[in-house]
Amino acid sequence: MKRNVSLEEISDGRLYGGNDMVKADCHGCEGCHACCTGMGNSVILDPYDAYRFQQGLGKGISQLFAEGMLELNVVDGIILPNLKMSGKGGRCAFLNEEGRCGIHESRPGLCRLFPLGRYYEDGEFKYFL
Ligand code: SF4
Ligand code: SF4
């Protein structure tokens, strides 16, 4: 999806290709949950995410909609599901009381990609940190 932010605003401004080496760990994750808060409707789900939810949580995507964990939004003219961020600071519905992902084993692909993002241009993409 398109986000109206500049690359410099959310990264070091560098783009990486498939053959580039980059140090991209999260320092063991200190649990600040900044990556699970305030993401708006940007954590879009794909069919494999729905499969992961079904397998890992034992819940179909319809049930997760009914429980208020997901929502639908129009992205580039297409209606797509995404993780619902709500409450103070826009917390992911799956964030637990300890500020950790409550579905870590079954989390969506975009969450697995973090701290990398994809930058699409001219029919191809590169990664940014
Ligand atoms: S991975 Fe997320 S929760 Fe962990 S330290 Fe980084 S921003 Fe915070
Ligand atoms: S599913 Fe887990 S990792 Fe992904 S945004 Fe929600 S709490 Fe964070």
pLDDT digits (tens, 9 = 90+) for 10-42: 888 899 998 999 888 887 788 889 899 999 998
Q: How far is the first Cα of the chain from the last one, in angstroms, to the nearest whole number?
A: 17
Q: Ligand 2 centroid to 62 CA: how many Å?
A: 19
- Among 43, 57, 65, which residue's Cα sits nearest to residue 113? 43
Q: Would residue 50 count as lying in a domain?
A: yes
User: Could you tell me if residue 105 is inside a domain?
Assistant: yes
Beta-bridged to residue 92, according to DSSP, are: 85
Residue ranges making up the domain that contains 93: 33-116
The answer, yes or no, to whether residue 71 has pLDDT greater than 90, is yes
Please give the number of the atom of ligand 1 that sits closest to the Cα of 34.
7
Domains identified in the chain, total number: 1
Tell me, yes or no, whether 70 lies in a domain. Answer: yes
Q: Which of 44, 61, 95, 104 to mutate to test the pocket of ligand 2 (most atoms within 8 A of CB)?
A: 95
Under the banding of pLDDT at 50, 70 and 90, the label for residue 94 is very high
Q: Averaged over 69-91, what is the pLDDT?
A: 93
Q: Is residue 14 assigned to a domain? A: no
- The torsion defined by the Cα of 117, 121, 124 and 129, in degrees rounded to 10, comes to -20
In this structure, is residue 125 part of a structural domain?
Answer: no
Average pLDDT, the chain: 91
Nearest CA to ligand 1 atom 8: 32
Residue 105: pLDDT band with limits 50, 70, 90: very high
Q: By percentage, how much of the chain surpasses pLDDT 90?
A: 61
Residue 22 lies in a domain: no
Question: Does a structural domain hold residue 5?
Answer: no
Q: Is the pLDDT of residue 65 over 70?
A: yes
Q: Is residue 8 part of a domain?
A: no
* 110 CB near ligand 2 (under 6 Å): no
Q: Which of ligand 1's atoms lies nearest the C-alpha of 99?
A: 3
